[in-house]
Chain A
Amino acid sequence: MAIHEQMTGSGTRRAPVHKRLASHIQAKAEQWRRIELLAHLAGFVVVAVLFWLAVSALRSADVNACLKHEQLDSTPGYFLAGITVAGFLAGRGVAWFRRHVRAGLNVAAPAKSSTGLGILLVLFLAVAALLLGYETWSVANGSVPPPVTSYVRCAAYHQFPLAAATAASIGFMISNWLWFPSK
């Protein structure tokens, strides 16, 4: 039952802010859905722009920038970790909003996992296993050729704004998947 339906009737105690907000979202779900769609579209465009920026950065990339990496200041790394966690928390907030839009629209949550999702998960894990296999081989071979980790660290350090936006997007999407509120 939608929250706004539970809160009707006289003599009801004033509900906490988050419940009132959820009630408002559910009551105006159609309007909020339009905003959600626009935000989604904007998000997709942002990811596409980030991709284009990354490809542009690749064109002018100087792999020699990775030289003497150990002499650099590691502070940007802490910022990147913090930005990723911030993206993760923002993703949870947006997931909460989306969950209530769906409740207002009466979109039923799937009762069981779908086959399509299972196939995608297998593909994703296959890519992850491949990368991990390369990483293991590289490390076992004295980091020759450089492992994935070295590539990520070098790219993140020398393309800080791009890496920060990408890391925040990844954190955001992961919490939208795994921290989506169930009730």
Chain B
Amino acid sequence: MTGRRTGITLGAAALAVAAIFALEWPTDRPEAASTFGTLSDGRFSTGMLVGSGDGLVRTAAAGDLAFVLDGDSLAGGFPSTLGAFVAVAHPQDLTTVYGRLEPGTLSTYLTTLRERDILGRVSGAGAAAWFGVFDRAKDAWVNPLILLAPEKDSISPVIRSVLLSNDERSYRLGEARTVRQGRYEVLLDTADPAGTAAGRAPYSVRLLVDGIERFACRFDSAAAPEGVLLFDPRDARTGPDFYDERGFMRLGTLDLARGAAYLNVSVADFEENSRELTYQLAVE
């Protein structure tokens, strides 16, 4: 299967799953502190962080308790970077994963779970649980927002800056209107503020250069068929190096020739709040 076909298949699968299966928010706060695709520990997250007012974490849907790690390491001592976590297997080949729980609070006596059964507590006051959704049939992580009830979010994502950068120098678009011809990497600093959360990733990103789409992705799903996790299997740019060390998204490279160039960057969140900026450049 080609990369494009794989990407289309995964995206279609995510939407198909959404059509037949819905999840409840795992805590009493239906608001994501960070979203699928957000920069976390140097790479994009395959889940989301969800705060809890009462400290409890509950099953998002009925299912079978599949795995409980009520500690900080697996058998043999391999450390857990999700902390204490629970995996629940659901029909429709979905598994939900609940991490960053407080060791010693995890429920293990129920093996068949109903929706909203308590799984455990978040670790500490003000802490957030990690929540992920895995599609076993497609071997792919699915953006939980696709399956959850909509957030109350009317705030558009922000575009903090767009940079053209190469080994010699970096231009901040909007400030720089003239650039030298040559090859540049396009870097995007964006976030989706919502509620009290400031550092969430948007749901979709698109870059047009002179009206031609040069980069487009949606944070629908992520898979690692070849041992490298990509949220768009057709585009190697959407892998572990998608974010640079400052947290800027790498949208690819451009060869700018002498003349005028128009760059259009648009970002949108899952509730379809969007932001779009267009830059006109003189290339010398």
Bound together = no
| Interfacial residues, chain B to chain A (CB-CB below 8 A) | none
| Interfacial residues, chain A to chain B (CB-CB below 8 A) | none
